Amino acid sequence: MKNNRTIVGVACHDAGGAEIVSSYIIQNNIVAKYCLEGPAINVFERRLGNIENNSLSDMVGDVSWVLCGTSWQSNLEWNVIQEAKKQGKKVVSFLEHWVNYSERFNRNGITLLPDEIWVGDIYAKKIAEKSFAGLKIKLIDNPYLSVIRESLSKFKSRKGLTKKHIALYLCENTSEHMLLRHGDANYLGYTEHDSLHFFLDNIDIVDQDIDTVVIRPHPSENNFQGKYDWIKEHPAKMIRKIHFSKEKNLMQDIANCDIIVGAETMAMIVGLVSGKRVISSIPEEGRKCVLPFSEIEHMSEIKSLNE
Residues 165 and 276 in one domain: yes
Indicate the residue among 131, 149, 167 that finishes a domain.
Answer: 149
Q: How confident is the model at residue 206 (pLDDT cuts 50, 70, 90)?
A: very high
Residues 116 and 38 in one domain: yes
What number is the average pLDDT over the span 88-114? Answer: 93
pLDDT of amino acid 160: 73
pLDDT of amino acid 4: 58
Question: Residue 115 — φ and ψ, nearest 5°?
Answer: -75, -25
Query: Is 2 part of any domain?
Result: no
Residue 183, Cβ neighbours under 10 Å: how many?
A: 8
- Which residues constitute the domain of residue 31? 7-149
Residues 76 and 130 in one domain: yes
Residues 105 and 189 in one domain: no
Query: Is 268 part of any domain?
Result: yes
pLDDT of amino acid 55: 95
Indicate the residue among 149, 184, 209 that finishes a domain.
Answer: 149
Look at strands 136-139 and 165-170 and give their pairing. Answer: unpaired
Domain of 169, CATH number, reads 3.40.50
Indicate the residue among 119, 149, 179 that finishes a domain.
Answer: 149
User: At what angle are helices 15-27 and 39-48 packed, to 10 degrees?
Assistant: 30
Whole-model pTM? Answer: 0.85
Task: Give how many domains the chain has, as a whole number.
Answer: 2
CA distance 93 to 67: 6
What is the end-to-end Cα distance of the chain in Å, rounded? Answer: 73
Question: How do residues 135-186 score in pLDDT, each as one tens digit?
Answer: 999 999 999 988 888 888 888 888 776 789 999 999 999 999 899 888 999 9
Domain of 63, CATH number, reads 3.40.50.2000
Three-class SS state of 107: strand
